[in-house]
Structure formats: structure tokens, C-alpha cells
Structure 1
Amino acid sequence: MTTKTTRPAPTGRIVVIGAGYAGLCAAARAGRSTRVTLIAPEERIPNRIRQHEVAAGRTVPKPLIADVLRGRQVTHVQARVTELDLAGRKVFTDTGRAVPYDTLVYAIGSRTAWHEVPGAPERAYGMERAGELRERLAASGTGRVAVVGGGATGIELAAELAEAYPGLRVQLVCMGEVGGRFSAKGRAIVLEAFARLGVELHEHRRVTAVDESGLTTDQGRIEADVVAWAGSFEVSPLAKEAGLAVTETGEVVVDTYLRSVSHPEVYAIGDAAAVTLPGVGRLRKACATAEPMGVYLGKALRRSAQGKGEAEPFEYGYTVHCLSLGRHAGMVQRVGKDDSMRERAYGGRVGKSIKALIVWGVVAMLRF
């Protein structure tokens, strides 16, 4: 679909739905000088990029949303959005409340994609259930766990579990190569960490079913007492059901101001948005892209509300990928502006230190 680049609409009553990295950044910045209503069911920030640590029994900071928004003109409605009335410009919640808006910021993020694999939603632990996975593993500390997914989430989870629970037999199962999108040096750092931690790799295997004793794949059985699902993510059908212009997979199509191409009073940011930029391409779902979108839009909405005119179009360029590989190592991969891999990568304590600094900055950036 061809996007239109036109001037953003006046703000008026601003409603932000979603308190992830994108939504909170937008609400906190717009709320510095204009009234904002934030609708989200959480009391604390989800801090999803550290859920692998939660599963491993680590203490992860999850500040209160009220603390992030302290001193801002933001009212937090603790509820879940169930329906959008685009014609009437109202948001309906599971508490029965209808919240009117002039400007809507759609930032509800994404969720675990199960890809219609039989048994997966019922028997596997997605990262939304990291706390439950922690309790399950802590109860025994031994046995076999299969982590499904060879991307960043799966790599971080497998490494964290293997280090935290040395009695566990940790297996990583994926359709391609583990860390296959990284450079040769970056992948070598990941594989060295797995060898050190004793993580077993099952590459080039597609999971076809999950049951009480493990996985069925197109290459045979993999026995496991616990299955953790760390594959790809999908978005809610809410935008499509409401009538917003969306991609085939449900992300809201936006212009260069992050505004819906079909409904100019709606902006979409974070994982729920399909953002394509010149020289960069389609932005991937990540905290690294969500927070900059939220910062940009929050400032743009504040500027509009103050009558200071429109902001410049949104710009973004990638610089690095980073992974934690347990508590004592990490990997930082250099990338080009368009997310293409560069050969340079850093591992060990250097990688860990850079990753730790970035993770700290993610929470700090929500407010400042």
C-alpha cells in the first residue's frame, strides 16, 4: 500500500493505548505540557526485553507506571482496550468504559505467535508467562527444557536458563541456524557461550506439535519436561477489526509522521506499526525501534498542542544488536543503518557491559 505524507492533524484530547516502551515514551513526553489519557492494564512497566531473566529467577526492575509518569499530565486508566470506534472516536475497555479522543496513539505492542502449532499455546510457556516458567523450573531445577526459537529471545533465554539452573538439560530448537542473521564473528560468540554453558542445539527443525513429554518436529522427536516458546511475535487483530489500514499480518500502515494512512487522527508506534523508511526499509519489532518512535511522537504531539507547528518526519537508523549470554557474557553486533550485518562483534565482558548499559538506558529513556 502506498503511504501518504501529509501534515499531522491537530491533537485535542490525546489517548494512548499501551504501556510498553513506545506507548510510555509517547505519553510521558506529550504529558509534559498537555493532558493525556493512557489506557493499559498493567500497574508496572512490562520491561519485556528482560523476561528471560525473570524466567531464570533474577530480580528485574519493573517500575510503577505511576512513577514513570510522576509530574506529567497523564491519567492512567488501568484497563484493557477491547474495541475501537473510529467513526465515533471512542476507545472501549473491558471495564465497560468508553473513552473519547481527538488523537489516538495505538501502541499495544505484540504477543507470542504460536503459528497454529497444536498444543503450543496450552503446553508451552510464552514470554508473557515468564513468572510461571520461573516457578515451574525452580520447583525442580533438574530435567529437560526445550527452548523453541533461534532468534535473540530464544538465545538469551537458553543461555540464562542454562546458567541459572545447572541441573537442567537445556535444548534450543529452531527452524534455521541459531543466530544465523548475525555475522560469522557474532554467531561464533553465541556458539562459544552455548558450548561453555552446555546448551544443546537442534537446528533446521520445524516444530509441528507440543505435548506433555516434549516436541514433535519434522526431523523427529525431542523429549522435554518443559517447553519454552521464544519464537516470533504477532499483533492483535484489534486494528484490523476496527477498520484501520493494516498489512497482511495486522500492523497499522503509517506515513512518515507515524500517522495512519487511512485515519489521520490515529498514530501507530512500536510493534503494532508498519514503518518503512527511505534507505532503511521496514523497521523490525524491537525495543530499539519502539522507544525512538515513542520519543519522536510524544515530542511531536506536545509541539502540536502548543501550537508550534509540525515536527519533521520520523527518522531512524540502526547501529547495533546486543544479546545477553547469561550474567557474565554478552554479544554486541555492529550493523549498518539499514540493519545489515557488519563483521565486527564483541563478546565476553565487553559485550556484557555494553548490553547492561543499553538495558539500563531503556528504562531511563521511558521518562527522560
Structure 2
Amino acid sequence: MAAAMQLAARAKGRADIRVTVVNATERFTERMRLHMTATRQQVADLSVPEMLEGTGAHFVRGWVTAVDADARTVRIDDDRTLAYDTLVYGLGGAADTSAVPGAEHHAYTLDSASDAELLGDRLTRLDGGTVVVAGSGLTGIETAAEIAEQYPAADVVLVGRQEPGASMNPKAGAYVRAALDRLGVRVRAGAEVRKVLPGGVELAGGELVAADAVVWTSGTRVSPVAAGAGLTVDERGRIVTDGALRSVSHPEVYAVGDAAAIRQGYGVMHGTCQGGMPTGVHAALSILRVLRGKQPKAFRFGYYHTPVSLGRTDAVVQFTRPDDSPRRICLTGGLAVRYKETVTASPWPTYGRMKKMPASGAFWPRGGRFTRIGRTK
């Protein structure tokens, strides 16, 4: 969306440029709020066509089934084929339910609004019961906390190899664990799920943990479309890019967000909301530079923070170095809640500014929240 709106805003009035957005549904899913959808809380119903209205960008509803990078075409599920001169590839990650037997068939995920709604239906019918959240990373923490707060009669068990908050500094990590304890979440750290069963999970060593519902938040995978298209991908299937976010094998393809293996000085970026909008904007600016006969500039990015919700009234924000290692500074409690909500809501005023932006306007508010979170130069 950031790439499309930036391109459309700057290409207004140019008959030789047509921007098309392809998405499986008209609904724009805020993935950072899917744990709220799963617990039947009201979130904004955002429409992709409405968001694009007035930008000049066109919307095509369809599930992308294949890309032919040599023919420069995109195939969607109703057998339509769309031709392109330049492609921005943003098919991001999803829960990796293929790594553990039974996860694909017996576990719920938070990949889409419909997935979250399915989990919500199950939670409302539990009347207590046990919910196992598999994966003690940030998504697992937020999911376990949200379910425990919204369904206090449920027995929520968070299972993972590491202690929750292990990537944070000691103060922030201890705060996360204390909050989970306060909410009644039982943490099983140092445990590995080897199999998901219809009635629970089997841990390494053979122990069975009974559950009425299992939520899978352990690991992600990317769409196989990029590899099938003949693009150069890494071991995880992400498109390998040059410094300007172009595919190293097909430079007319730009990869953004979770779909891209983008190398920075500290290593390859990992999938995060912090990188999504900056990569989209940078891809748009690179495309526009190439259309003007110029070379695109290199993308530079540094992480800034890790905000984690702990229910609706508590949170922790771990500030980080550019390589995502934790700083000593963190926010907790109500201040962290307000900070996280501001960050989570931040794309919408930015998109609004993009829609009104003149062709020569600044693409990213200088000195503002977004340039600090993900710096693009």
C-alpha cells in the first residue's frame, strides 16, 4: 500500500504510468491487531479500494497464484493474467504450520482476519477450557495475554523454547513474564512442540498437553510464488535483493517487507512491521528514479523499538539499537500502551498525507516518528 500510494501520488497526470494493486480481498488486514479480532474486539474495517480512492491507483481483487518473471506477467485465481513493466512483490509471511506434524490441520493461526475470526468462534464456545499457544515469541506473548485477559475462565498455556521476552533487556523481559503471570498464563519455557493433535500437543520427550484449542505462532514461511517464478531466493524463499530492493536476477522486480531478503550492515532484515512501510516507499522512489533515467539509491534501515501489548491495559516497549539488539531503555504500563497504540495507528495519517501529496512533495515526514522507526535515505 505504501509503494502504490507513493507511486500513484507522484505519477498523477502522467498517462504513461498506471499503478495497479492486486490483493486477495478488499479488506485491508492490520496484522498487528489480529489477536484483538480473535478475542472478538472491535477493530476498524479498512477497505483497500476506499484507501486508494483519489490516488489514481487501480485495484484488482484476486489471489496471486503465479508470477512469470521472464514473461513479466502475474496470474490470479480467476485465470486472469496481468502484464507488468515493473513489479513490486509484497506477498509476505504466514505461520509455518508445515514444520510440525498436525499443525496445519489441528491448530489455529493468525494469518488473516478470517483465520482470527475462526479462532474467535472457538474461544467463545470454550466456556473455560485450555488454550495452548505454541511459540513464545512476540506474537505468542501478545496472543496469550489477550486471550487470558478477555477470557479469564480459560486456562492459557504458553509453550516455547525460550522464556517470553528473552530478546529484551532484563528489566523488560522480567516485566513481560510478570504480566503473563498476573494474567494467569502458564508458561512452559524450554519446551518444544513435536506434534499437534486434535486434543492438544505432544512435546519433545513424549509429554502430552491437553488443549481445547491450539494457536500456532511458532515460526513463519513465505509464499512459494517467488521461487516458482524463477526469481533468485534465499533458503527461506525470500527474494534476494540488491541495495535498491531490486531482485538480483530480475531487476524490474522490487521486493518489499517480509517477502524480501534485504541485507544491511548488521545482516539480513527480519520480517517486521517496522520494515514494511519504509521498504514500500523506497521501492516507489527507486521506480520513479529509474523512470526518470536515474539510478536508484541504496536502502538503509535501522530498527528502533519493539512494542508488545500485554492485554488492553498493559504493554512493554523495548527500544533497540539499529541491529535490533536491546537498549537499556524501555517503557512499561500505561505509557507503553499509549506509545504502542500511536505506533500501531500511525500508517493511516501517513497514507492520508500521501493521498494529498503533490508530485514534488516530501515522501516521508522528516524528523517524525516514521523516519526514526525505519530510516530511508
Distance in 1 separating the partners of 2:45 and 2:272: 18
State the partner residue of 2:5.
Answer: 28
Contact 1:31 1:302 in 2 (8 A): no
Q: SS where residue 146 of structure 1 aligns? A: strand
Aligned positions of 1:258-277 closer than 5 A: 258-277=245-264
1:14-62 CA-partner distances (Å, limit 9, x unpaired): xxxxxxxxxx110111011142111111111111111111111111124
1:133 aligns with 2:92: no
**Mapping of residues 53-72 of structure 1, within 5 Å:** 53-72=36-55
* AA at the equivalent of 1:244: L
CA displacement at 1:170 relative to structure 2:
0.6
- Equivalent residue runs for 1:258-337 within 5 Å: 258-278=245-265, 280-305=266-291, 307=292, 309-337=294-322
SS, match of residue 235 in structure 2: coil
Given candidates 331, 334, 342, the residue that maps to 1:349 is 334
Does the 8 A contact of 1:291 with 1:366 survive in 2? no
1:57 partner letter = R
Which letter maps to 2:285? K
Aligned 8 A contact 2:21 2:57 in 1: yes
Q: Are 2:150 and 1:150 equivalent residues in the alignment?
A: no
Q: Give matches, 1:86-97, under 5 Å.
A: 86-97=69-80
User: How far did residue 350 of structure 1 move?
Assistant: 1.1
Contact 1:47 1:62 (8 Å CA) reproduced: no
Given candidates 232, 237, 244, the residue that maps to 1:250 is 237
- C-alpha distance in 2 between matches for 1:141 and 1:65: 36
Q: Which residue of 2 aligns with 1:211?
A: 197
* Contiguous gaps of at least 5 residues in structure 1: 1-23
Question: Which residue of structure 1 lines up, in the alignment, with residue 370 of structure 2?
Answer: none
Write the letter of the residue equivalent to 1:30.
L
- 1:150–1:173: 8 Å Cα contact kept in structure 2? yes
How far the C-alpha of 1:101 sits from its partner, in A, is 0.7
| CA distance, structure 2, for counterparts of residue 363 and residue 338 of structure 1 | 27
CA shift digits 1:68-88 (9 cap, x unpaired): 111112111100111111221
CA contact (8 A) 1:236 1:250 kept: yes
Q: Distance in 1 between matches of 2:262 and 2:183?
A: 38
> What is the SS of the residue equivalent to 1:140?
coil
Deviation at 1:115, TM superposition (A): 4.1
Shift in Å, 1:299 = 2.8
Name the structure 1 match of 2:64. Answer: 81
Partner of 2:94: 111
Q: Distance in 2 between matches of 1:286 and 1:120?
A: 23
CA gap 1:363/1:228 in 2 versus in 1, 3 angstroms: farther
Which letter does structure 2 place at the counterpart of 1:99? L
Instruction: In structure 1, give the amino acid aligned to 2:220.
Output: F
Q: From 230, 235, 253, give the equivalent of 2:217.
A: 230
Which residue of structure 2 lines up, in the alignment, with residue 8 of structure 1?
none
CA distance, structure 2, for counterparts of residue 62 and residue 141 of structure 1: 28
1:182 Cα deviation from its structure 2 partner: 1.1
Give the secondary structure class of the aligned counterpart of 2:271.
Answer: coil
CA distance in 1: counterparts of 2:51 and 2:290, whole angstroms: 23
- The answer to whether the Cα contact below 8 Å between 2:134 and 2:158 also exists between their aligned partners in 1 is yes
8 Å Cα contact 2:68/2:230 also seen in 1: no
Q: CA RMSD in A?
A: 1.4
Write the distance in 2 (CA, Å) between the matches of 1:26 and 1:165.
39
Paired residues of 2:126 and 2:212 also in contact (CA < 8 A): no
- Please list the CA deviations of residues 263-288 of structure 1 after superposition, one character each: whole Å capped at 9, or x if unmatched: 1111111101000112x321110111
Provide Cα deviations, 1:326-350, integer angstroms capped at 9, x if missing partner. 0001100010011111122111101
Match of 1:49 among 32, 35, 52: 32
- C-alpha contact (below 8 Å) 2:241/2:247 kept by paired residues: yes
Number of the residue aligned with 1:179:
165
Sequence identity percentage: 36
Q: Give, in whole Å, the separation in 2 of the partners of 1:183 and 1:365.
A: 31
Contact 2:40 2:120 in 1 (8 A): yes
Alpha-carbon deviation of 1:303? Answer: 4.2
Does the CA-based 8 Å contact 2:321-2:327 persist in structure 1?
A: yes
1:365 positional shift: 3.4
